[in-house]
Structure 1
């Protein structure tokens, strides 16, 4: 398959996709502050996150020059500015569990006494940006899809018998990172970057994430135009982080996510692997 680096395409980002995680609270973002009244260092997001991480280098940190800069934000935020067009709900526990506080779109607030310096996840929108129920998260690992997603093609074969190295799912909007790791590659097809090419082998866009320890995860069929600008090789992603809207790009017969897992360069059952890491609530 001929591929080009994602950087050669002018891929539009969402409202704040190009600026997310830069320590500035831009329009379209949800911003957590180290101090009350939107003061101190800031941790800015344009997507839901099910687990902030415990320590560097695998945590979301406060950025900028204010007090708290460089520190992990889990259990350390005191106030929020919601500059998105959706409500954001802040949770006491990871995986959108425990006590919560919702900040309406366009408003700012100090976190309640129960949540101040006791916050571990947040959900943007009434059901999160992914649609359906939130994807389950377990420390370094997460489901790439909501628990109510529907499997349309399993591993290791299609219903017709042909080999299939991953699992295909439908019924949701946004794919999530299934591990905390680093974007290894983004392969965008030079002809079908934003088009369907059902039946054309090797025509699908493909994102690969290096999870460490010989584990690699792959995602296919997203449109190049929908891939956030900050999802690029070398960028670290967190388990449960939004990656992109699912699509019907390339060799695809309908909007869905193709997800696969390799361990030491050998394909394994994607969901069974995640179950072995403690992720629950996976489809099927």
Structure 2
């Protein structure tokens, strides 16, 4: 899977709170099963406005059901009504699919970030993500 940040985890890792921190980037990825972050329902993808799952939340079922994508975050919103576009700072992928994020609309851009199934990222490239899709586990973004 292509990633600019290079972090990936595996489902089933359960050793308390497992955190992989990328050297120099300040980006962390952790197993959902090992975390206390339970605000995101099972089988869902959740975006948070701030790092560490703070601020507004947006539960995106259309990333785990057909069409499995959002080409432009401008029409997707946090619960407080603000757009997701360039506002997402952390994400929980509590689905059985791999989540792929891009910094530009229509799955383009400098950043391409992937979060495997049942993992979360406490801090992703801040406020730059603009489109997303999910693919079956094991497939490339």
Establish whether TM, by shorter chain, passes 0.5: yes
- SS of 1:117's equivalent in the other structure is coil
Query: Pairwise mapping of residues 96-245 of structure 1 onto structure 2 (< 5 A)?
Result: 96-98=107-109, 99-112=111-124, 115-125=125-135
- Give deviations 1:203-236, integer Å, cap 9, x for gaps: xxxxxxxxxxxxxxxxxxxxxxxxxxxxxxxxxx
SS at match of 1:25: coil
Unaligned runs of 5+ in 1: 1-23, 54-58, 64-68, 128-133, 135-284
Q: Which residue of 2 aligns with 1:37?
A: 52
1: CA distance, partners of 2:127 / 2:91: 12
TM-score (norm 2): 0.60
Q: Distance in 2 between matches of 1:105 and 1:39?
A: 21
2: distance between equivalents of 1:86 and 1:111? Answer: 20
> Could you say what secondary structure the match of 1:37 adopts?
helix
Root-mean-square deviation over aligned CA pairs: 2.0
- 1:49 matched to 2:61? The reply is no
| Other-structure match for 2:77 | 61
TM-score, normalised to structure 1, is: 0.31
Tell me if the contact between 1:94 and 1:120 (Cα under 8 Å) persists in the aligned partners: yes
Cα distance in structure 1, aligned partners of 2:115 and 2:97: 9
- 1:219 is aligned to none
Per the alignment, in what secondary structure is the counterpart of residue 123 of structure 1? strand
Paired position in structure 2 for 1:25:
40
Does 1:78 find its partner at 2:93? Answer: no
Equivalent residues, number: 93
Provide Cα deviations, 1:174-205, integer angstroms capped at 9, x if missing partner. Answer: xxxxxxxxxxxxxxxxxxxxxxxxxxxxxxxx
Larger Rg: 1
Counterpart Cα distance in 1 of 2:121 and 2:94: 12
CA distance in 1, matches of 2:47, 2:95: 13
Residues in 2 aligned to 1:91 and 1:110: alpha-carbon distance in whole angstroms = 17
Check the 8 A contact 1:101/1:111 in 2, yes or no. no
What are structure 2's unaligned runs of at least 5 residues? 1-38, 64-68
